[in-house]
Each structure stands twice: as C-alpha cells, then as structure tokens.
Structure 1
Amino acid sequence: MAQQQTIRSGAGVRSAEIDQGLRAHMNSVYGIMSVGMVITGAAAWAISGLAVNDQGQLTQLGTAIYASPLKWLIMFAPLIMVFAFGALINRISAAGAQVFFYTFAALMGLSISSIFLVFTGFSIVQTFLVTAVAFAGLSLWGYTTKKDISGWGSFLIMGVIGLIVASIVNIFLGSPAIMFAISILGVLIFAGLTAYDTQKIKTDYIQHAQAMDREWLQKSAIMGALNLYLDFINMFMFLLSLMGNRE
C-alpha cells in the first residue's frame, strides 16, 4: 500500500513538473512570436514612409523595391526562407535559429509594407485587432480541447499549397472573384491551422517531456513560434483583403 502511494505521489509530482514546463514552453513560443510580430510591423511601417511622413509616401528604399524587379524577390523571399528554415533547423544552433526567425520577420515586414499604401490606417488597425482576438480564441481552443485534431494537418497543408498556386496564378489573371474566394478560403484554412499548430506544440512537448534537453526546447519553441506567426500573418492578410478599406 505504501509503495502504491509512493508511486502515485511520484507520478503526480512528475505530472506537475510537465504541466509547469509546458506552460513555460508555451510562454516562450508566444513571446518569440510576439517579438517577430513587432519586428514585422516596424519594418513594414518604416519602409512604407509613415515613419517620416503621414502621407504614406514610399521611402527611397521602398521606391527602389517597388519600382524594380526587386519587388518579386522581396515578395517570394519569405516563402523561400520558410522552406530553408525547415531544412536547417536541425543543423544550426538555437541562437542561430532565433536570428534566422527574426531576419525572416523583418523580411516579411518588407514584403507586406505595401498595405500601408493600399489600405487606410484605421482598417489596418481594426483588422489587426479582429485577427488578434480570433487568433487568441482559436489558439486557446487548440490548447484546451480534448479532441484530437491531428488529422487536420494533411488536409490543411494541402489547402495552403492550393492557396499558393491559386495566388500565383491570380497575379497574372487579376480576377477579383478569384481573389475573394482565395481570401475566404485563406481565413478558414489558417484559422484551422492556428488551432492545429497550437495543439501540435503542446503534444510534441508532452511526448518529448521524458528526454528533452535545453537545445531541443529552444528550437522547438522557435519552430512553434514560426508556425503560429505564419498563421497569424496569413489570417491577417486575408482578412484585410476582405475587410480593409482602400485608400
């Protein structure tokens, strides 16, 4: 009897340690993601020209980007970096991965800086707040739900690939109807990915809780932050396309 109580007590302590570690891990994920969001916003705001005037006129660097073929490189560079990050994460240090993520966040800011020239400031702020509320609710649900939503992964990734292909095709077609459909599907897909990625971060931590090291924890937090960051940014951009008031 005493032995059983000792085993139960040890299991309870271990469970409490995992729960505490999980909360710290999730805080790290959201913290890294938040820093990335700040870097993205600052880069987009600076390149748009709003940092030096309230008319949203492009800076010299912004003009050099958008008035030259360099704009295509800036547009697709974040996508290339995402694939590169996945390939390099196991080869670089945690510190290197964090620098890579923040560099990616800055480049993403350059890539989306044109929103300050296309949409009103009020609609950008409004859409950001709507996205933040939706993201928080979806992420909380993904963290707390007892339902296993791991099966969503393949379907949602296929949806993302479809969105990328359709968006590239529509660059040349310029169809408002296709863009509207892409935006609706984009919001739904990245809403699902927000819940899915949150649950995956949680389950990955729990599954590796017995044999994890500090390096793994840091890299896992950075990778989780990247996934949630992408969910937020994409949901924001698709919502802005639907809700934003144009200049």
Structure 2
Amino acid sequence: MADYNTYRSAQSVGTRTGAVDEGLRAYMNKVYGLMAVGMGVTAVAAYGISSAAVDSAGQLTQLGTAIYASPLKWVIVFAPLLMVFAFGAALNRLSVQAATMLFYGFAALMGLSISSIFLVYTPFSIVQTFLVTAIAFSGLSLWGYTTKKDISGWGSFLIMGVIGLIVASIVNIFLQSSGMQFAISA
C-alpha cells in the first residue's frame, strides 16, 4: 500500500526541480570559473618562469640552470604530486579560503613544473594544443550537462578504442606512415 506522504503536487515538484537546476547552474559556474582562473595562473607561471630561465641568446640563465639542469628539477617535477597528497589529507580541515589559496598555490607550482614545455615546443603548438583541449572540454561539458542519457555503458567500448589507439601508435613507430599518424591524430 502506498504511503500518502510520498505524493506531492506537480507544481511543487516542478518548483523544486527549477530551484535545483538554478543551484546546480550557479555551482557549476563557480567551479568552471575557479578552474579557468587556476588554468590562467598555471599558464602565466609557466610562461613567466620559462621566460626568466632563458636569456635573449637562447642560453639558460642562472635560474634556468638551477631549475632545469640540477637535481632541483626532480623536486619541481614531483612537488605537485606531493601537494596533491597533502591537499587530499588536509582538505576536510581547511576553510574555503585556505583551500582556495592552496589551489592557487598548486596551480602556480604546476606552472613551474611544466614551464619546460616553452623551451621545447613552439608557442603556436602550445596554444593550438590548449585551444583544441579547451574546445573539446567545453563541448563535452555542455553535452554532459544538457543530456539526460546514461553513458555509463560506453566505458568498455571506449577502453577498447584507447587500447587500439595505443597499439596503432606503437606499430606506427616502426612503420612511419604519415597516413596512419593522421588517422591516429584524428
């Protein structure tokens, strides 16, 4: 027998759904805004450190030698990972402001850790990679936010696709086929 307390009017359910949707939208806007600022901090830190590490002749400065050519480079590489573990352990004891500042510190440390990409790759390829990733993330986020479809069954199919791409990439190391490289990239 049904409990009469479980029945609600259609109007109250619609109102509650609208309130939940507005709350979710505000929360997601805050999360995306925080992540965008964090990405900006990482980008500025990476570019700033790499610019200070190389002089106008393309040679490493004292800072560049200390960061990229000494044992300090291993501390810089693994520091973000250690910070993730520390952040995870302390998260429940931190205030919102302290957690936000720790996040921005982590973003700057990630910028320091990945600053060497500016020494290896061209600015065009870095910007191109960033834009493609940002567009893919935005599109997938929008689709995931607006769709009501359950995509949990896609997991095994997508894992097999990733394994296939890895195998094709390894085979293409030996074949050196530009057509296969284009197909893998696509």
8 A contact 2:52–2:64 mirrored in 1: no
The residue matched to 1:42 in structure 2 has which SS? helix
From 84, 101, 104, the counterpart of 1:82: 84
Residues 151 and 134 of structure 1: is their aligned pair in 2 closer, same or farther, counting only changes over 3 Å?
closer
Unaligned runs of 5+ in 1: 160-176, 182-241
**Aligned twin of 1:139:** 141
Please, which of 29, 37, 40 is the counterpart of residue 38 of structure 1?
A: 40
Secondary structure in structure 1 of the residue aligned to 2:16: helix
Counterpart in the other structure of 1:10: 12
Aligned to 2:100: 98
Instruction: Give the structure-1-normalised TM-score.
Output: 0.55
Q: How does 1:45-60 map to 2 (within 5 A)?
A: 45-49=47-51, 57-60=59-62
Instruction: Report the 3-state secondary structure (helix = DSSP H, G, I; strand = E; otherwise coil) of the residue aligned with 1:9.
Output: helix
CA distance in 2, matches of 1:133, 1:55: 35
**SS of 1:104 mapped into structure 2:** helix
TM-score computed with the length of structure 2 as normaliser: 0.72
Q: How big is each residue's C-alpha offset from its partner over 1:75-116, in whole Å with a ceiling of 9 and x where there is no partner?
A: 011112122222221111111111111000000000000011
User: Alignment partner of 2:93: what SS?
Assistant: coil
Task: Give 1:40 deviation, angstroms.
Answer: 0.3
The 8 Å contact of residues 52 and 63 in structure 2, kept in 1 or not, is answered as: no
Query: Which residue of structure 2 aligns with residue 111 of structure 1?
Result: 113
% identity of equivalent residues? 62
Question: Judging changes above 3 Å, is the alpha-carbon distance between structure 1 residues 150 and 22 closer, same or farther for their aligned structure 2 residues?
Answer: farther
CA RMSD of aligned residues (A): 3.2
- Alignment map for 1:215-230 (pairs within 5 Å): none
Q: Matched residue of 2:67: which SS?
A: helix
Q: 3-state DSSP class of the match of 1:89?
A: helix
Tell me, which stretches of 5 or more residues in structure 2 are unaligned? 1-6, 171-183
After TM superposition, the structure 1 stretch with the greater mean CA deviation from structure 2, 136-145 or 12-21, is 136-145
Larger radius of gyration: 2
| Secondary structure class of the residue paired with 1:90 | helix
Give distance in 1, aligned partners of 2:45 and 2:15: 45
Letter in 2 for 1:149: S
Of 127, 130, 134, the residue aligned with 1:128 is 130
Q: Spell out the pairing of 1:96-245 with structure 2 (5 A cutoff).
A: 96-145=98-147, 146-149=149-152
Choose which of 22, 25, 41 in structure 1 pairs with 2:24: 22
Cα deviation, 1:185-224, whole Å, max 9, x if unaligned, reads xxxxxxxxxxxxxxxxxxxxxxxxxxxxxxxxxxxxxxxx
- The answer to whether the 8 A contact 1:36-1:105 is kept is yes
2-structure distance, mates of 1:71, 1:51: 13
Inter-partner Cα distance in structure 1 for 2:75 and 2:51: 20
Deviation string 1:137-179 (CA, Å, 9 cap, x unpaired) is 2222332332153995xx98xx9xxxxxxxxxxxxxxxxx99x
Counterparts of 1:125 and 1:48, CA distance in 2: 15
How far the C-alpha of 1:49 sits from its partner, in A, is 1.3
Q: 1:148 to 1:123 in 2, by over 3 A?
A: closer
